[in-house]
């Protein structure tokens, strides 16, 4: 009997690639990965699974209704897990257009196809950023209002609303997972943790936005993948689930820990890293804090994170030390142009 297929979009990105690998290991399903291969994608992230006969890569855009429709007709996926997105806040400040295209119109295109082909589950991979800045507020629960701050967060909140509307209006079995900041191997060096590790390894300064006291909840990517599969299979249809560790860390404390782990791994003096923090102009509209309640996913699905920040940072730092070639290849000319546009021209770094 032919295996059932799932459609994963954005599977060549950071989280999507970890999820594809996890799915192929944990389930017998076929996995169809639809990815446009933007600057954020890398086929090398999945080089170890390309020979698996259950894995299929399709290059294409989630906003392309014809291609998406054809894929649904051909593969008849029972479930969709949508990772495809423009994912970086600073880029959304430079140019919101692709964020609206992929994160809103792309989700609409997928929802339309899913409704026509009657999928059993549509899991939208969302973010805790949709709740906006929660400094001084209790952790957000899933029913709290959406108050996104950046164009990125606004596009993700719009997608969440579309999913909820399709559930209510058309009865489409949507689910939404809102996770906190992921980190781990293969993350693109535009994001804080790999950016800091790369700059420290190169002997460069690490740009700290504003006062560095902003707070985030850092989630090891493999823990998120486990949560996403739980939500996909056992989540209540129509349900929204926050995914996070419940442990909040300021950016300065996070960077201090990265310096300590790097120093330990390289048998170096921690001060040679700690002295490289450089305070730069703040990100416009920067959210001071994200914090979400994880009661629901704990109580309903029994999910708990298994990798704490110290262990996750150690695994991440080790991976980047062992994969400096990947890091440098990813930080290509277009990355350098982006870095220049953000850090030198906008944020005022020397
Ligand atoms: P990423 O930027 O690493 O990868 C995004 C992937 O989507 C890339 O492979 C890219 O080529 C693909 N893509 C972009 N536009 C596309 C389009 N129009 N059609 C098809 N493919 C397209 O992103 P990530 O960090 O892995 O995040 C994945 C998802 O998780 C996103 O939806 C993001 O909003 C969400 N999320 C990320 C985090 C985080 O900390 N990284 C936290 C919470 C939620
Ligand atoms: O909270 C979930 C979100 O986490 C996801 O939805 C996004 O896709 C993902 O990019 C991430 O958003 P953040 O803006 O929180 O992540 P980033 O790594 O860009 O920044 C983390 C914190 O570090 C934030 O407070 C900004 C700060 N920062 C970031 C960079 C890149 C710096 O101080 N310096 C930097 O150079």
pLDDT one-digit tens code per residue, 159-194: 999 999 999 999 999 999 999 999 999 999 999 999
Taking the CA of residue 38 as reference, the ligand 1 atom at the shortest distance is 11
CA atoms within 13 A on the CB side of 15: 28
Residue 7 has pLDDT above 70, yes or no: yes
Residue 346 has pLDDT above 70, yes or no: yes
Q: What residue's CA is closest to ligand 2, atom 14?
A: 89
Residue 349 has pLDDT above 80, yes or no: no
Q: Is the CB of 180 under 6 A from ligand 2?
A: yes
Give 33 Cα–ligand 1 centroid separation in angstroms: 13
Residue 350 — pLDDT band, cuts 50, 70, 90? low
Give 60 Cα–ligand 1 centroid separation in angstroms: 14
Non-local (6+) Cβ contacts of 107 within 8 A are 62, 82, 124, 158, 159, 162, 163
> To 10 degrees, what angle do helices 107-116 and 151-170 make?
20
Taking the CA of residue 37 as reference, the ligand 1 atom at the shortest distance is 11
> To 10 degrees, what angle do helices 309-322 and 192-202 make?
50
The mean pLDDT of 29-47, rounded to a whole number, is 98
| Lookup: tokens for 148 | 């996104």
pLDDT one-digit tens code per residue, 256-306: 999 999 999 999 999 999 999 999 999 999 999 999 999 999 999 999 999
Q: Is the CB of 133 under 6 A from ligand 2?
A: no
pLDDT at 39: 97
Q: 128 an active-site residue?
A: yes
Give 76 Cα–ligand 2 centroid separation in angstroms: 36
Distance, C-alpha 215 to centroid of its chain = 17
Residue 1 has pLDDT above 70, yes or no: no
Give 102 Cα–ligand 1 centroid separation in angstroms: 10
pLDDT at 26: 98
Percent of the chain with pLDDT over 70: 99
Would you say 226 and 282 are in contact if contact means Cβ atoms under 8 Å apart?
no
Mean pLDDT of the chain: 97
Calpha distance 50→145 (Å, rounded): 41
Predicted model pTM:
0.98
Residue 23 has pLDDT above 90, yes or no: yes
- 240 has which bridge partners? 176
Would you say 83 and 10 are in contact if contact means Cβ atoms under 8 Å apart?
yes
Catalytic residue, chosen from 42, 129, 133, 217, is 129
Distance, C-alpha 158 to centroid of its chain = 17
Would you say 214 and 287 are in contact if contact means Cβ atoms under 8 Å apart?
yes
pLDDT one-digit tens code per residue, 128-163: 999 999 999 999 999 999 999 999 999 999 999 999
Give 104 Cα–ligand 1 centroid separation in angstroms: 13
Q: What residue's CA is closest to ligand 2, atom 16?
A: 191
pLDDT at 28: 97
Would you say 61 and 109 are in contact if contact means Cβ atoms under 8 Å apart?
no
The mean pLDDT of 217-243, rounded to a whole number, is 98
Would you say 12 and 37 are in contact if contact means Cβ atoms under 8 Å apart?
yes
Taking the CA of residue 182 as reference, the ligand 2 atom at the shortest distance is 4
| Lookup: tokens for 104 | 């809103």
Distance, C-alpha 162 to centroid of its chain = 19
Catalytic residue, chosen from 86, 128, 217, 287, is 128
Q: 129 an active-site residue?
A: yes
Q: Looking up tokens 């860390």, which residue turns up?
A: 249
pLDDT at 343: 86
Burial annotation 298-334 (CB, 10 A radius, 16+ → b, else e): eeebebebebebeebbbbbbebbeeeeebbeebbeee
| Lookup: tokens for 305 | 């994170």
pLDDT one-digit tens code per residue, 77-116: 999 999 999 999 999 999 999 999 999 999 999 999 999 9
Residue 316 has pLDDT above 70, yes or no: yes
Catalytic residue, chosen from 131, 152, 338, 343, is 152
Q: Is 2 exposed, middle or buried (0-12, 13-18, 19+ CB in 10 A)?
A: exposed
Residue 2 — pLDDT band, cuts 50, 70, 90? confident
Taking the CA of residue 191 as reference, the ligand 2 atom at the shortest distance is 18
**CB < 8 Å & 24+ apart, contacts of 109-114:** 109/62, 109/63, 109/64, 109/65, 109/68, 110/9, 110/62, 110/68, 110/80, 110/82, 111/162, 111/163, 111/166, 111/172, 111/174, 112/65, 113/65, 113/68, 113/69, 113/71, 113/72, 114/72, 114/80, 114/172
Q: What is the 3-state secondary structure (H, E, C) of 116-145?
A: HCCCCEEEEEEEHHHHCCCCCCCCECCCCC
Please state, in angstroms and as integers, the Cα–Cα distance from residue 17 to each residue in 20, 221, 268, following that order: 5, 10, 32
Q: What residue's CA is closest to ligand 2, atom 25?
A: 214
Taking the CA of residue 84 as reference, the ligand 1 atom at the shortest distance is 7
Give 71 Cα–ligand 1 centroid separation in angstroms: 20
pLDDT at 344: 80
């Amino acid at each position: 009997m032919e295996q059932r297929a799932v459609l994963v979009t954005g599977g060549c990105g950071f989280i999507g690639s970890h999820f594809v690998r996890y799915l192929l290991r944990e389930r017998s399903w076929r996995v169809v990965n639809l990815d446009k291969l933007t600057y954020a994608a890398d086929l090398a992230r999945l080089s170890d699974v390309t020979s698996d006969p259950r894995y299929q890569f399709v290059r294409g855009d989630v906003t392309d209704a014809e291609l998406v429709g054809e894929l649904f007709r051909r593969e008849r996926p029972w479930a969709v897990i949508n990772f495809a997105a423009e994912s970086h806040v600073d880029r959304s400040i430079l140019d919101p257009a692709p964020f609206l295209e992929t994160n809103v119109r792309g989700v609409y295109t997928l929802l339309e196809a899913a409704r026509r082909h009657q999928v059993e589950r549509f899991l939208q991979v969302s973010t805790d950023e949709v709740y906006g800045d929660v400094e001084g507020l209790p952790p957000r629960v899933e029913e709290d209002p959406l108050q996104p701050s950046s164009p990125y967060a606004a596009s993700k909140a719009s997608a969440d609303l579309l999913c909820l509307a399709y559930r209510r209006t058309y009865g489409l079995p949507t689910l939404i997972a809102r996770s906190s900041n992921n980190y781990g191997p293969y993350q693109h060096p535009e994001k804080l943790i790999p950016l800091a590790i790369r700059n420290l390894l190169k002997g460069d300064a690490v740009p700290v936005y504003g006062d560095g006291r902003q707070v985030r909840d850092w989630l090891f990517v493999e823990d998120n993948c486990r949560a996403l599969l739980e939500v996909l299979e056992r989540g209540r249809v129509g349900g929204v689930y926050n995914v996070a560790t419940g442990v909040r860390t300021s950016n300065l404390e996070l960077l201090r820990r990265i310096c300590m782990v790097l120093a330990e791994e390289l048998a170096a003096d921690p001060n040679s890293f700690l002295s490289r923090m450089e305070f730069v102009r703040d990100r416009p509209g920067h959210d001071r804090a994200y914090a979400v309640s994880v009661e629901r996913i704990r109580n309903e699905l029994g999910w708990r994170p298994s990798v704490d920040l110290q262990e996750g940072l150690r695994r991440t730092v080790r991976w980047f030390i062992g994969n400096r070639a990947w890091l440098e290849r990813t930080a290509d000319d277009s990355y350098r142009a982006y870095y220049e546009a953000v850090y030198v021209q906008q944020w005022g770094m020397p």
